[in-house]
Chain A
Amino acid sequence: MARQINLAHAEADKLFYFVTTIVVYRESDQKCLILKRAGDDAVLPGKWGLPGGRLEWSHFDLEHPDEVDGEILNFNGPVEAHVKELLEEKAGLSIGERPQYLGSVFFVRGDGTPSILVRFAARIGGGEAEAGGGFTDSAWVDAEEITQYDHVEGIDKEILKAIKLFS
């Protein structure tokens, strides 16, 4: 059983960043939250995007796994937990239900780092939107209004999909 996470035996061509984003839908006016990325962000600086972030090893305490299966340490539901955490951290919001799956993207950052993105949507549960954790501004938009913002490619379609899903 591993005592610490390490990549000593890993094959480099199978390693990725793992990223999640979420479209948050507000029922009262049928709008979704977008956040402005910081001007010094390494990826798409200054663009309007969705709350999101990367999974890190520090999310997993090897002393306290959910299950031990032989020599393997298991942690259940890390992606769902990460979505909730980052939404609180980046936008000060909570979601009231299980996130819905929208789709996936593999992307290569400008610095060459390979990343897998899983996209979700959920109805807002509570909180007032406030940009934080690397974002500098926030706005609530519908499928028309998003076109007026300099946004990350594809999020207009995700917002439209979320609005259709929830309204």
Chain B
Amino acid sequence: MAATEISLGEAKKDKLFYFVANVLVYREEDGRCLILKRSKREKAHSGRWATPGGKMEHGDFDINHPTRMNGDVIDFEDSIEDLLRRETKEEAGVEIGNEFHYINSNTFIRPDGIPVVLVKLAANYVGGEVVLEEGAFDDFAWVNAEEVKEYECIDGICEEVEKTVQLFSK
């Protein structure tokens, strides 16, 4: 029987993670990617340059309106892609398209012991002027693989910009 609510009652604790996705937004017209400067008020990586993204939450899904039923399993297809569309719109005001590429993954253990799975994808920019989420970011830039080196980025961003440009310019 399908579940009537999302619950961790039957979950095995040692297999539970927070989940975060980030996206490299690629602008085809000039071959550049969007980076955002995190606010100085942010606890983690304050003042450093990053990419849009966010954490998945149970509340993102209405269990009564799945995209598909799979026996007694309730499916929501393209969930990471949808998360990235929402976060990119919320954090930077821009829209991304349907072409997604996988960049890399990382698991990190926070100082409080919570394990986080981070997946990074790249997507094509389709429209919108950049409008930064107030309080979260102070500045933005569109950069290529050379230009990104001039910015004080979170570790790995330079390589990810380079990889994204390669993937989309094929």
Contact = CB atoms under 8 A, between A and B. Distances in A.
Interface residues of B, number: 59
B45 to A, nearest CB: 9
A14 B108 contact: no
B58 A110 contact: no
A110 B2 CA distance: 5
A13 B58 contact: yes
Contacts of B114: 5-7, 9-10
A18 B11 contact: no
Interface string B2-25: 111111111101111111000000
B57 A55 contact: no
B58 to A, nearest CB: 4
Q: Which bracket fits the contact residues of A? A: 35 or more
A82 B117 CA distance: 12
A95 interface: no
Contacts, number: 194
Nearest to B103: A101
The 6 closest A-B pairs by CB, nearest first: A101-B102, A112-B7, A106-B79, A79-B105, A104-B80, A111-B10
Contacts of A2: 109-113
Contacts of B57: 13-14
Contacts of A12: 8
27 contacts: A3-B113, A5-B109, A6-B113, A8-B113, A14-B19, A14-B56, A16-B17, A18-B17, A18-B19, A57-B115, A69-B108, A73-B109, A76-B106, A78-B106, A79-B105, A104-B80, A105-B77, A107-B76, A108-B3, A108-B61, A110-B1, A110-B72, A111-B10, A114-B8, A114-B61, A153-B69, A154-B75
